[in-house]
Structure 1
Amino acid sequence: MTTTASAPSASVDSRTFLGHPPGLLLLFFVEMWERFSYYGMRGLLVLYLVAQATGPNPGRGMSKEIASNIYGWYAGMAYLLPVFGGLIADKLIGTHRSLVTGGLIIALGHIALAASGLGALGENNLGLAIFISGMVLIVIGTGHFKPNVSVMVGELYTRDDPRRDGAFTIFYMGINLGAFLCSFVCGTLGEKVGWHWGFGAAAVGMLLGLALYLIARPRYLATIGNPPEGKPNYAPLFFALAVVLSLVLGASFYLDAFSALGALVGQIEATAAGQIIGTALRYLLPLGIVVWGARFVMQQEATDRGPTFCILLFIFFNAVFWLAFEQAGTSLNLFAAEMTERHVGGWEMPATWFQSVGAFAIIVLAPIFASLWAKLARHNRNPGQPVKIAIGLFLLGLGYVLMVFASLHASPTSRVSMFWLIGTYTLHTLGELCISPTGLSFVTRVAPVRYVSFLMGMFFLSSSLANLIGGILAGQIEKIESGQLSLFWFSWFRLGGQADFFLLFVFSSFGAGLLILLLSPFLNKLLAGRS
């Protein structure tokens, strides 16, 4: 992905907004609407898939396992494809065309989701195939859109412009403003009126952002984001490829090709050769990753080996954090819908509204944390990145401690106070502020110059894998709850209900936090003061 920043074009409107180019405000709102659409759909997805297929607002009646697996693949791909979308923009179509292409594909995807519930489509497999095609479009569109709007923010400034950090802070507020507002619009429509009205509202949000961008870009961005010189316009081709791929995957689902493929894989796994291959992969794949990591570290200059090793290790802890954090879209979302008392007077609050707690906390607390780190740095007391990661993991674990206690008394017939979830999401957000913005800043600061983009990509890949595994893990909640799937502490004690499932994240978060805290003196030596 593009990481260099060019000087702003002379034809860009020279007036300022809060001391920044007005193009920043434009990109702020464009990103706000894109995140509005993404998080609006994200909050509804699992709830829609597991909702009963009959009744006033019918869903698809899927099991929690299948719904969570679908969510995991969806979220995982949404974090993976931007790595390739950035490369396509860099080499072929430029950030402007990539942003427009992505926005149109995302909007088309949300329209497909809304259309999949019209009439009989809301009840049959053809409608579900259209829904799958819509999800594929959103993921591909996100791949084109997400990395490039951030690059365009950077292109508003020269590399040494002191306003750059402040610009990205303002931009980050746009992301969270969209994530905050979407639940009140998409979530309310989806749960109270009809699921597909919520999906349709997400499409409207994306189209509003795209229309605003196209109208205002000539005045406020001018040539920023233009494609590489001499390259033809490949954007329509990538749009067409996205549509074709979505149709192929939707048709494959309709024709039950995925089930046939799964059955074939199961038959192969049952053979002696399949078992040998499976065992080899379980052991050789992790070993291969470790060997590759060691070789990559040793290929660096002597002064870069320690920092590079630390970044690779931090990527692992990043995955542990997001695997637990992203339960927000699956197990925690379902807990809000099924186990949480949401009545205020005679009105029941939509479960999706809890998705806005974290975004609201980010908007309020992010400036405070930024000021805190700066103040500690001025007094030479700013903790190193290993300690910040440990604090983030401990706060994440504390959030799940609340969920364990809430789950001990929760059931569909005996719901618990909404303040358990509010407390959990607030603690998780505090942890996010310790580990996410500081982690990305850390990579850009200490990575070898020629591998900054590559290692940033590795961070996103770890988040993609964490979302995928997190969705698969969330699908096991009913098996853990029933005792069908045994956890390692069941031989000593068992809490019952969903408490054991959430206890898993208490152990993983506190265990990982304690491990990196113990390693921090050694890691700080490897960093040699570069953090």
Structure 2
Amino acid sequence: MSQSEGARAPADTPDAGLEDRRFFGHPIGLMTLFGTELWERFSYYGMRAILLYYLTDTVADGGLGLDSDTGLAVTSIYGASVYLLSVVGGWLADRGIGSRRATLYGGMVIAAGHVLLAVPGGAGVSFAGIVCVAIGTGLLKPNVSSMVGELYGRDDERRDSGFSIFYMGINIGSFTAPFLVGLARSIGGYHAGFAVAAVGMGLALVAFVLGRARLRGAGDHVANPLTAADRPMLVRGSLGLVLLLALAALGALAATSLSAGELSFGTSGIVNMISYLAFAAPIIYFVVMLRSTKVTAPERSRVRAYIPLFVAAMLFWMIFEQAASSMSAYAESRTRLDVLGLTIQPEFFQSVNPALIILLAPVFALLWMRLGRRGPSTAVKFGIGLALASLSFLFLAGMTALAGDGLVSSWVLIGTYALQTLGELCLSPVGLAATTMLAPVAFRSQSMALWFLAPAAGQAITAQIVSATSDLTENFVPYFGMIGGVTLGLTVVFFFFTPWITRHIAAGEKGLSGPVVSR
């Protein structure tokens, strides 16, 4: 199909989608994207739940035999890579193939990656599978979220609520995945667990293909298609990317240790290289958007307001995404694995967050709808979310110190996840909605990719901290305490900027039809 065949104008117009209330009061297209993301997140979080254990378990027990610190760093940098590659997915959607096709192709690559992980073919095959999952998720993740935004008009006050419902679908998948994948691992080993994740991704593709008609053209429109005049820019951009990769590689080489008089570029070098890219990419993106002639003055005001929101999100995800790294290690080595008299697998703790999301997301969705413009601004919601994440690590550090050399009750870890979940509900779905509202038209999907660079940069920070921390399992108290304390201090600074952020968002809305939804 050509770009014009079957395509509709983006739904970000005054009255788009207001008449469609067939899915719990929301456009019916939300049901398709809800189901797609539910099963895609099932596959992703199912894999993530056992990835660290697979990397660090002995070869005799079916793992790859990496040491604990290396496994933690690799897990963190894998998470960063997933979100870093969303830049590519957003750019391809905005400039070439549209969000719908990017989502479809990404799903196919993810499915291939999970199949490779399900095959007991050794480290080479497994790492090829991990790379495929990262690339495919980079294509899919920003674009399926961007299509949710296209279902609503600018003056549609259901937008925040719609993203909260969409977020609930994400967490239904991520809640069930650790249980089913963990059960499969306990019965048939790691590759059986990865096979269950592969089935989940297959179901995501089925939901997306069969539900295309419900999208009513969302994702078919290419916001800023490439033209012949863009070719020099594309060549310069490609050369710049190659140069950036080269500089990152050189920086990573310089950061690696000297062994026997020769520079060693192994796992630590790769971790450093991806970390530098994760830090550089959002800076470059903000500069490009602020200098682009396709970005209007009101849009530029909104981009400036988005920068401190991005920094707050980066710090939040630095803490939250440690569920797959430091908190997985904590669950395995410092936590009593019993809940209500039942002995559990350590990966099951990763279901606490999505379980609470499922219960609380409708409450928050209703809360934001009822409060409307009387509720806290977007910036204040971000600040509350970041404060709760900071307090979760301080709580975990304090309870671990009280336990001394003994194991900590499983309820401490559950409480830590509960605090992070409350913070997530204040920040993440609101951040998705704010991104679709604040994005310049020419950078619609790329701005969603920029949102996903926040967890990329956050996990890159984690990878660097873990790499600099020797024997983390013996230093949980200073590790969690330091991160929580520093982040809480930065949260206080962020709250001083919230009036400035709100003013710039309001200034950026001048001249646009319809009232501001996310303030």
Per the alignment, residue 396 of structure 1 pairs with 389
C-alpha distance 446-343 of structure 1, shift in aligned 2 (>3 A) = closer
Cα deviations by residue, 1:351-410 (Å, 9 ceiling, x for unpaired): 1111111112222222322333444445x4x33344333322221122112211232255
2:433 to 438, 441, 458: 441
C-alpha distance 162-499 of structure 1, shift in aligned 2 (>3 A) = closer
Where structure 1 has 5 or more consecutive residues not aligned to the other structure, the ranges are: 8-13, 122-126, 232-257, 272-277, 483-496
In the alignment, residue 43 of structure 1 is paired with which amino acid?
A: A
Structure 1, 393-402 or 415-424: larger mean CA deviation? 393-402
Q: Distance in 2 between matches of 1:152 and 1:436?
A: 17
Structure 1, 437-446 or 33-42: larger mean CA deviation? 437-446
Where structure 2 has 5 or more consecutive residues not aligned to the other structure, the ranges are: 1-7, 14-19, 226-248, 263-271, 510-518
Per the alignment, residue 166 of structure 2 pairs with 171
In angstroms, what is the RMSD of aligned CA positions? 4.0
Kindly indicate whether residue 383 of structure 2 is the aligned counterpart of residue 405 of structure 1: no
Cα deviations by residue, 1:142-177 (Å, 9 ceiling, x for unpaired): 122223333444555666666655543332221111
In the alignment, residue 424 of structure 1 is paired with which amino acid?
A: T
Per the alignment, residue 476 of structure 2 pairs with 498
| Partners of 1:327 and 1:474 within 8 A in 2 | no
1:62 to 50, 61, 66: 66
Q: Per-residue deviation at 1:98?
A: 2.9
C-alpha distance 192-425 of structure 1, shift in aligned 2 (>3 A) = farther
Per the alignment, residue 254 of structure 1 pairs with none
Q: Per-residue deviation at 1:455?
A: 4.6
Partner of 2:59: helix, strand, or coil?
A: coil
Aligned residues: 452
Q: Per-residue deviation at 1:99?
A: 2.8
Q: Distance in 1 between matches of 2:296 and 2:168?
A: 38
The equivalences for 1:105-504 within 5 A come to 105-116=109-120, 121=121, 127-154=122-149, 166-191=161-186, 193-214=188-209, 216-217=210-211, 220=214, 225=219, 266=257, 296=290, 307-344=302-339, 347-377=342-372, 380=374, 382-408=375-401, 414-446=406-438, 455-479=447-471, 497-504=475-482
TM-score, normalised relative to structure 2: 0.75
| Partners of 2:391 and 2:419 within 8 A in 1 | yes
Cα deviations by residue, 1:295-342 (Å, 9 ceiling, x for unpaired): 948998776666543321222222111111111110001111121111
Between 1 and 2, higher relative CO (CA 8 Å, sep ≥ 6) is seen in 2
C-alpha distance 523-434 of structure 1, shift in aligned 2 (>3 A) = same
Q: Distance in 1 between matches of 2:445 and 2:206?
A: 31
Q: Distance in 1 between matches of 2:102 and 2:449?
A: 18
Q: Distance in 2 between matches of 1:357 and 1:265?
A: 37
In the alignment, residue 115 of structure 1 is paired with which amino acid?
A: V
Q: Distance in 2 between matches of 1:157 and 1:377?
A: 16
Q: Distance in 1 between matches of 2:94 and 2:440?
A: 21
C-alpha distance 164-137 of structure 1, shift in aligned 2 (>3 A) = same
Q: Distance in 2 between matches of 1:163 and 1:499?
A: 42
Per the alignment, residue 72 of structure 1 pairs with 76
Structure number with greater Rg is 1
1:508 to 482, 486, 492: 486
Q: Distance in 2 between matches of 1:345 and 1:295?
A: 52
Q: Distance in 2 between matches of 1:220 and 1:295?
A: 32
Per the alignment, residue 99 of structure 1 pairs with 103
Partner of 1:415: helix, strand, or coil?
A: coil
Per the alignment, residue 244 of structure 2 pairs with none
| Partners of 1:297 and 1:309 within 8 A in 2 | no
Q: Distance in 1 between matches of 2:370 and 2:162?
A: 20
Q: Distance in 1 between matches of 2:332 and 2:499?
A: 44
Partner of 2:85: helix, strand, or coil?
A: helix
Kindly indicate whether residue 41 of structure 2 is the aligned counterpart of residue 35 of structure 1: yes
Structure 1, 443-452 or 454-463: larger mean CA deviation? 443-452
Q: Distance in 2 between matches of 1:479 and 1:90?
A: 44
Partner of 1:5: helix, strand, or coil?
A: coil
Per the alignment, residue 48 of structure 1 pairs with 54
| Partners of 1:65 and 1:476 within 8 A in 2 | no
| Partners of 1:327 and 1:471 within 8 A in 2 | no
Per the alignment, residue 11 of structure 1 pairs with none
| Partners of 1:53 and 1:59 within 8 A in 2 | yes
Partner of 1:416: helix, strand, or coil?
A: coil
In the alignment, residue 204 of structure 1 is paired with which amino acid?
A: V
C-alpha distance 338-481 of structure 1, shift in aligned 2 (>3 A) = closer
